[in-house]
Structure 1
Amino acid sequence: MELAVLNLSGKGKKGKVEVSSRSFDTDYNGDLVHQAVTAYMAGSRQGTKAQKNRSAVSGGGRKPFRQKGTGRARAGTTRGPIWRGGGVTFAAQPRDHIKKLNKKMYQSALRSVLSELVRQDRIVIVKEFVLKSHKTKELASQLSNLNVNDVLIVTTEVTENITLASRNLRKVDVCKPVNLDLISLIKPEKVLITLDALKLIEERLG
């Protein structure tokens, strides 16, 4: 299949590029995409929270008062959960939230999302994306010419100018093809991809 290549000026098309139908024209698999996104987000969770149960609380080894004659309920330690400063019942412990998802399934989910973005006309292809200065105004002007505002820019060369110019724009993100993930693709309204980055994405997806 073919995708249009636009001019950075936004005036007319610069040509067309042949892309793999396997990567950019497959049926959308919502269940697989959901599974992949869930696994990705679960893997980013820290899971480091921890509380002390009764065995981890320090102190309280001595019997607080005698067994009989006080009128109080018998107690052998102050570390129990009913005591102030005692341990927590079913205390939270550090855990790993990672959900396994094999490489083929993740690549298939990427193909599914990219194909859906093409159908929704949310992918913009340009020959290259170069900034002459680090001024945010120049980047904003180029994006305005292409009629994009909320965008992910995928390019093989993330130059210092692009990095500096984009960090003041809240809805503009930049990444390399090797760092492309599902969340980054789904979130913005448009995905701007350079020709070199497009080739690397196709190679990555086989």
Structure 2
Amino acid sequence: MIQIPVHNQTGEQVGTVEVSEEVLGGEVRNGLLKQAYVRYHANKRTGTARTKNRADTAYSTRKLYKQKGTGNARRGSAGTNVMRHGGHGFAKRPKSWRQGMPTKMRRLANRNALLAKAVDNEIKLIDNLSLDKPSAKSFNAILDALKVDRTCLVALADTRSNEAKSAANLDNVNTIQVDHLNVFDLLNHRYLVADKAAFEAYIEKVTVQADVNNEEAA
């Protein structure tokens, strides 16, 4: 079992949360994490880049001047790729960059990224993360108390809460709904900050998923 410390908003440790390593994949699987990360990154690409080739340029196709006798280099039409404003020799065309991954592998990768954070002591849990009103200064004070000095992903039960609004204007801080935690966002940030209750609810959910997968494999 992994012991994840729980702090209050002033940075003092007030308890721990136990998480089973087996639920999160047993061990950090670097190959799986890379595959899932690359897939997620590729699927974010729109694939709409397009440039003109020689046939797309709005130039006449007539030969600029005769082949021989002028002393100049040989020239074809003005739309050739060696001419200024001509078409591209290898023009870009829209394409899909999407990659597939089985659901079980994708879910395991998400849990395994969480395990990697837990092993490196990069998960910061707060016993009661709540603010009476949006305040970037107050939220920044909480992060300073937790000694969060690098990029930070804040997992919340509600991304419309005062806490989410407070973190919106802070540098290197991003918020995410706890149910949407994924390998890409977890690996793109050094620390994960979460409310204890929301984190435990998420762990309970992924534990059920892991149990179902183990039953199907057995």
Give the TM-score category using the shorter length. 0.7 to 0.9
- The Cα RMSD (Å) is 2.9
Q: How does 1:80-91 map to 2 (within 5 A)?
A: 80-91=80-91
Structure 1 equivalent of residue 47 of structure 2: 47
Q: Which runs of no fewer than 5 residues in structure 1 stay unpaired?
A: none
The aligned residue for residue 56 of structure 1 is 56
Give deviations 1:90-148, integer Å, cap 9, x for gaps: 21222222222222222121222211211111112233311112122211222233333
Distance in 2 separating the partners of 1:76 and 1:190: 59
Q: 1:55 to 1:204 in 2, by over 3 A?
A: farther
Measured after TM superposition, the shift of residue 34 of structure 1 is 0.9
Does the residue aligned with 2:193 lie in a helix, a strand or coil? strand
What is the rounded CA distance, in whole Å, between the counterparts of 1:78 and 1:140 in structure 2?
Answer: 59
Whether contact under 8 Å (2:23, 2:206) holds in the other structure is no
Decide whether the 8 Å contact of 2:25 with 2:108 is kept in 1: no
Residue equivalent to 1:114: 114
Quote how far apart the aligned CAs of 1:52 are: 1.3
The residue aligned with 2:198 is 196
Contact 2:156/2:164, CA 8 A, preserved across alignment: no
Q: Which residue is 1:153 aligned to?
A: 154
Matched position secondary structure for 1:55:
helix
Tell me, in whole angstroms, the C-alpha distance in 2 between the residues paired with 1:187 and 1:73.
52
Partner of 2:212: none
1:146, 1:74 → 2: CA distance? 69
Q: Do the aligned partners of residues 77 and 108 (structure 1) sit closer, same or farther apart at CA in structure 2, a change above 3 Å counting?
A: same
TM-score w.r.t. the length of structure 1 is 0.81
DSSP-derived class of the 1:36 partner: helix
Q: Matched residue of 1:24: which SS?
A: coil
CA distance in 2, matches of 1:123, 1:72: 68
- Which 5+ residue runs of structure 2 have no aligned equivalent? 210-218
Distance in 2 of aligned mates of 1:74 and 1:154: 63
- 2:128 is matched with 128
Would you say 1:12 and 2:6 are equivalent positions? no
What is the distance in 2 between the residues matched to 1:187 and 1:76? 50
What displacement does 1:156 show?
0.4
SS in 2 for 1:131: coil
Matched-pair contact (CA < 8 Å) for 1:149–1:171: no
**Alignment TM-score, normalising by the size of structure 2:** 0.77
Distance 1:147 1:96, change over 3 A: same
- Matched AA of 1:191: L
Over 3 Å counting, the alpha-carbon distance change for 1:184 and 1:161 in structure 2 is: same
Q: Percent identity?
A: 27
* Alpha-carbon distance between aligned partners in 2 of 1:50 and 1:135, rounded to the nearest angstrom: 44
Superposed counterparts of 1:176-195, under 5 Å: 176-194=177-195, 195=197
Tell me, yes or no, if the aligned pair for 2:8 and 2:128 is still in contact at 8 Å: no
Aligned ranges for residues 31-46 of structure 1 at < 5 Å?
A: 31-46=31-46
